[in-house]
Structure 1
């Protein structure tokens, strides 16, 4: 029963994100997308290295 409640909460949260994202969100321009893409690559790389170090210790 607890699992169903958790799944319902997750589904409700995702539904709210989609509704508000479509209503209030605005499309990004190409420069902003490129900037986010660059930062996300660096962040993912750092997080992978941190996870590998954490597993080794």
Structure 2
């Protein structure tokens, strides 16, 4: 039952965040989108590497 409550709370929070960002966010330029995309790609890659190393060290 707790899990359903947590999931419901997360769903409500997601709906609120989407609503607020769609209403008040400014459009991004293509250059800023490209820059952020590159940064996010590198961060995801590093996160995957860290998780692999952490998994190998925990054995």
TM score, norm. by length of structure 2: 0.84
CA distance in 2, matches of 1:18, 1:37: 20
Structure 1 segments (4+ residues) deviating >2 Å? none
Per-residue CA distance 1:14-57 (angstroms, 9 max, x = gap): 11101101111112110000000111111111111111110110
Unaligned runs of 5+ in 2: none
TM score, norm. by length of structure 1: 0.86
Unaligned runs of 5+ in 1: none
Counterpart position of 1:48: 48
- Report the number of matched residues: 57
